């Protein structure tokens, strides 16, 4: 008689089925405590954990944004919230040092979300971590919409044939951390560009001919060389790229509003647009300095 087994695998399957059945009724952002946390970790291959404290104003402010993101990603990524003021041990496991905290848990590891705590930014970040590395769109308006979601990230934008799409898929999968990758389906001309900073487009300086042997390495070196803008916004999300860019120096420009206080991100971006021309001309005078200007954002101000 065959023995019925209950190894890790069947247990996992049971968890997954249970989770699926249960998730039909659940809220998009559901509560967990120290006891059912372990269960949820097994049941969901990917989960965003939101640590909060009920008395913390920042937590209360961020929760509706997390909920928005949870609703938009429902069915793809589970979103759970944990009262870290009660579940101290769980919070410690994640090295939580302040409320609120937002973590993506997948493949046995976790990663903290460090970007702007707005629903759209959270969705974009989660998608960049779990979704397809190359976002394929059919129309230019969808592409435009994707550009608006990219936040401070540089993007590779390509369009053309299926052959080029395959090449870009490989590049995107290996370089997820680099930024965003978009592909516009279009059977006409093959094109590859880098979009960076304040709507700065740089086209590949070679012919994008998919029959050429060296096309993939050429695209790779092109995006490596062009990923950082001459004038761009810096935040926790992209600071790493600046740190590792090998630039000799960075010139930081901090904008203030008419009260003399450092301004909010939107005002700041507007001012960066207004001063774009003069900042760029400073940049061209110092070619040995790779990245010259920055726009301070709300994150830096805390």
Ligand X SMILES: *[C@@H]1O[C@H](CO)[C@@H](O)[C@H](O)[C@H]1NC(C)=O
Q: Does 74 bind ligand X (CB under 6 A)?
A: no
Q: Measured from the CB of residue 139, what is the shortest distance to ligand X in angstroms?
A: 7
Spell out, one character per residue from 259 to 288, where the chain touches ligand X: x when CB under 6 A holds, - when not. Answer: x-xxxx------------------------
Q: Which of 23, 28, 30, 300 binds ligand X (CB under 6 A)?
A: 30
**Buried b / exposed e across 266-302, counting CB within 10 Å, b at 16+?**
eebbebbeebbeebbebbeeeeeebbbbbbbbebbee
Q: Which is nearer to ligand X, 272 or 291 (CB)?
A: 272
Alpha-carbon gap, residue 189 to 26, rounded angstroms: 47
Q: Measured from the CB of residue 123, what is the shortest distance to ligand X in angstroms?
A: 15
Contact 297, 235 (CB under 8 A): yes
Q: Which of 258, 278, 281, 284 binds ligand X (CB under 6 A)?
A: 258
Q: Does 142 bind ligand X (CB under 6 A)?
A: yes
Q: Does 36 bind ligand X (CB under 6 A)?
A: yes
Interacting span for ligand X (CB under 6 A) from 45-53, 135-143, 236-244, 268-276: 135-143
Q: Which of 11, 13, 31, 249 binds ligand X (CB under 6 A)?
A: 31
Q: Does 32 bind ligand X (CB under 6 A)?
A: yes
Crossing angle between the packed helical segments 34-43 and 8-23, to the nearest 10 degrees: 100
Q: Does 138 bind ligand X (CB under 6 A)?
A: yes
Q: Which of 53, 137, 202, 253 binds ligand X (CB under 6 A)?
A: 137
Residues 83 to 122: which contact ligand X by CB under 6 A? none
Q: Does 61 bind ligand X (CB under 6 A)?
A: no
Nearest to 298 by CA among 61, 132, 112, 13: 61
Contact 176, 196 (CB under 8 A): no
Alpha-carbon gap, residue 270 to 19, rounded angstroms: 46
Crossing angle between the packed helical segments 57-72 and 119-130, to the nearest 10 degrees: 50
Helix runs in 189-231, H state only: 215-226
User: N- to C-terminal Cα distance for the chain?
Assistant: 65
Q: Which is nearer to ligand X, 15 or 242 (CB)?
A: 15
Q: Which is nearer to ligand X, 136 or 289 (CB)?
A: 136
Which is it for the CA torsion 47, 53, 59, 65, positive or negative? positive
> Using CB under 6 A as the criterion, which residues of the chain lie in contact with ligand X when the complex forms?
30-33, 36, 40, 137-138, 142, 257-259, 261-264
């Amino acid at each position: 008689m065959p023995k019925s087994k209950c190894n890790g695998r069947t247990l996992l399957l049971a968890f997954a089925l249970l989770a699926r059945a249960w998730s039909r009724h659940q809220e998009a952002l559901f509560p967990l405590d120290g006891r059912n946390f372990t269960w949820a970790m097994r049941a969901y291959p990917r989960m965003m954990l939101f640590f909060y404290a009920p008395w913390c104003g920042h937590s209360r402010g961020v929760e509706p944004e997390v909920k928005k993101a949870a609703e938009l990603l429902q069915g793809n990524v589970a979103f759970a919230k944990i009262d870290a003021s009660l579940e101290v041990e769980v919070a410690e496991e994640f090295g939580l040092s302040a409320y609120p905290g937002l973590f993506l848990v997948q493949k046995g590891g976790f990663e903290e979300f460090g970007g702007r705590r707005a629903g759209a930014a959270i969705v974009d970040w989660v998608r960049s971590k779990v979704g397809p590395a190359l976002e394929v769109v059919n129309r230019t308006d969808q592409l435009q919409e994707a550009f608006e979601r990219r936040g401070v990230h540089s993007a590779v934008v390509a369009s053309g044939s299926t052959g080029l799409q395959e090449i870009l898929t490989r590049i995107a999968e290996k370089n997820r951390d680099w930024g965003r990758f978009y592909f516009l389906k279009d059977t006409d001309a093959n094109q590859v560009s880098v979009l960076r900073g304040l709507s700065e487009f740089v086209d590949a300086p070679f012919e994008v001919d998919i029959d050429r042997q060296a096309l993939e390495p050429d695209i790779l070196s092109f995006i490596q060389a062009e990923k950082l803008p001459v004038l761009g916004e810096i935040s926790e999300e992209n600071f790493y790229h600046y740190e590792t860019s090998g630039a000799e120096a960075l010139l930081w420009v901090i904008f203030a509003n008419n009260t003399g206080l450092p301004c909010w991100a939107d005002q700041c971006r507007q001012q960066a647009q207004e001063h774009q021309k003069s900042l760029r001309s400073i940049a061209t005078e110092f070619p040995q300095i790779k990245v010259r200007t920055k726009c301070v954002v709300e994150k830096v101000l805390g």
